[in-house]
Homo-oligomer: A and B are copies of this chain.
Amino acid sequence: MRTSIATVSLSGSLTEKLTAAARAGFDGVEIFENDLLASPLTPEDIRARCADLGLSIDLYQPMRDIEAVPDEEFARNLRRARHKFELMRRLGTDTVLVCSSVHPLAEDDDALAAYHLRQLADLAQEFGIKVAYEALAWGRHVSTYDHAWRIVEAADHPALGTCLDSFHILARGSDPKGIADIPGEKIFFLQLADAPLMAMDVLQWSRHYRCFPGQGGLDVTGLLRHVIAAGYRGPLSLEVFNDVFRQAEAGPTAVDAHRSLLMLQESAGLAALPAPVVPTQVAFAELVTPDAEPVSALLGALGFARTARHRSKPVDLWQQGEARILVNTGPAARRDGTQLAAIGLESPDPDGAARRAESLLAPVLPRRRAAEDAPLDAVAAPDGTELFFCATDRPELPSWTTDFHPVPSPGQPARHVHRVDHLALTQPWHQFDEAALFHRTVLGLDARESVDVADPYGLFRSRPVANADGSVRIALSVGPAPTDDTARAQHIALATDDVVAAARAFRAAGGRLLAVPANYYDDLAARYEFTEAELETYRDLGILYDRDADGEFRHCYTETIGRVFFELVQRDADYRGYGAQNAPVRLAAQHVQRPGR
């Protein structure tokens, strides 16, 4: 179906908004009146700009407080409408949104509302314009879609129809089933928005917290099915008021928006995308660093061995069990210091995974490889992390490991790490919701609820995404404010069956563990019945502990190099969390260790 977006959903000047919408692949836009008023472009210029960009103008919006008002007010409204219809003719758009009245003098009189809307439709018809009447969730007397439809039905005018808005319908808790009873040709427009579930004044909720479908908790897919069942074939249009999107760059927001509509159409059965290919493992994590020495020392102390070197690039492969870390000292490292730059995702079908990603607007990365290298498909996640879809030593597929030649490695100490447990990636502040949607839709991972974590200098949010068996887990986190988000640490958590042994071996090999305050262990002693010897071990090694109904979690942290540190984690029974309740203690300890803040 055709896709559209209201200009209010994007930041910047009208020109910037239109450009971003077109580049992201939208077919059309709704022009929000205030964006037009604030633009130095004439309506004719805007029309031409949209035509150049291949965008239709699907809606002009909104007209407010039109109907069921006192006579003299309505006369002024008709006068105002005539001006706006003339403007719309100049813009070249044929549908106007009319929101149900919130005027303090509006009467609770459906017949009067219908009478006024019929007169407005008469005038609109002279201009070849259609009026789409929508119930605002906080409309003074008309606040539900079925009520708005009854008035439209009563007015019975060919230039008058209804506009449905998923937020207004679902936020009120209305049952969308009744939509199927509205004749499809009388649904003149469909606006789509999601929102996180919040117990909050609906006007505030709408004006500040809307998000793109799939990013919140409303059943936008279910609603869309009803609208399609009714016979609607107009555009799917996003109208999202969101404080964060208002300040984010328009380009990425528009891509995020369009991706959400692609997903929505897939989930409603309206479009077939390449099927998701869920990764089965973390094949590798790639660190870039300007100085391999401290990273190598840290990996060595953790029990990794340098097993291979890329045949054409300055990249080493370090391995321990199924955990593989690439250390890249190539040009990128000199720019940004030590960081987690790429993730290899073991994929049952790397090509299919890449096709899926591309169809969902993930930026496909140029292949950084020599002619003889194995083909590796990669896309960029919203935070810039490169995601490679790959196969590791599987006979039926080219393996990325063939680009590496083995190097002699010394005899190994006891290995405690068997694989990567999870990766923790700090997201750009403005793209936290986008990141979760990206990982869910592009990678086919499941997202859990976001949790708040208190850092000494502000509140973090953290949202894990994972595949069904937990063999791929990524914790997406975001800091308290747009400042310094790229300076925040990322980390690689390594799975072990014996965190005490792993930590001891690490320390014995010269590694430095994050020191955890003694007070934390006094609290553990108060909450759980550990022996004094156990507590002493944990205190000595800085091992943190969590328990829930499913199992137990023990974990500890290495020092930080550049932006990266490691965590050793031991999950027992079916513990599926990440020790979030220990995060404030860990974050405070990291501030102590690196007081530079």
Contact = CB atoms under 8 A, between A and B. Distances in A.
Given A199-B200, A243-B480, A481-B481, A456 B12 contact: yes
A115 B208 CA distance: 47
B456 A13 contact: yes
B482 A527 contact: no
Instruction: With a 10 A CB-CB cut-off, give which of A457, A482, A520, A525 has the most chain B CB atoms.
Output: A457
Given A80-B527, A243-B459, A527-B80, A42 B519 contact: yes
A454 interface: yes
Q: Is the interface of A mostly helix, strand, loop or mixed?
A: helix
A181 B589 CA distance: 46
Nearest to A521: B37
B204 A37 contact: no
A39 B517 contact: yes
Contacts of A452: 207
A594 to B, nearest CB: 12
A531 interface: no
Interface of A: 11-13, 16, 33-34, 36-43, 79-80, 83-84, 87, 198-201, 204, 207-208, 243, 246-247, 452, 454, 456-459, 480-483, 515, 517-520, 522-523, 525-527, 584-585, 587-589, 591-592
B482 A481 contact: yes
A519 B481 contact: no
A253 to B, nearest CB: 12
B246 A34 contact: no
A480 B33 CA distance: 22
A11 B458 contact: yes
Most B Cβ at <10 Å: residue of A38, A83, A204, A481: A38
Contact of A40 (B41, B84, B517): B517
Contact of A13 (B42, B525, B591): B591
26 contacts: A11-B456, A12-B456, A12-B457, A13-B588, A34-B454, A34-B584, A36-B519, A37-B517, A37-B520, A37-B585, A38-B456, A38-B517, A38-B519, A38-B520, A38-B589, A39-B517, A40-B589, A43-B519, A80-B526, A87-B526, A199-B201, A246-B454, A246-B457, A246-B459, A246-B480, A481-B481
Given A42-B518, A84-B526, 14 more contacts: A38-B456, A39-B517, A40-B517, A40-B589, A41-B517, A80-B527, A83-B523, A198-B201, A207-B452, A246-B457, A247-B459, A481-B481, A481-B482, A481-B483
A458 B246 contact: yes
Contacts of A584: 34, 37-38
A34 B80 CA distance: 59
A344 to B, nearest CB: 34
Contacts of A592: 13, 40
A231 B418 CA distance: 64
Contacts of A482: 481-483
A243 B452 CA distance: 11
A458 B38 contact: no
Contacts of A520: 37-38
A584 B200 CA distance: 26
Nearest to A597: B12
Contacts of A454: 34, 246
Contacts of A208: 459
Given A38-B588, A39-B588, A458 B201 contact: no
Nearest to A84: B526
A193 to B, nearest CB: 17
Among all A-B residue pairs, the 4 with the closest Cβ atoms = A83-B526, A247-B458, A38-B588, A199-B201
Nearest to A586: B38
Nearest to A207: B452
Contacts of A246: 454, 457-459, 480
Contacts of A84: 526
A199 B459 CA distance: 22
Nearest to A12: B456
A522 B89 CA distance: 14
Given A480-B246, A526-B84, A519 B12 contact: no
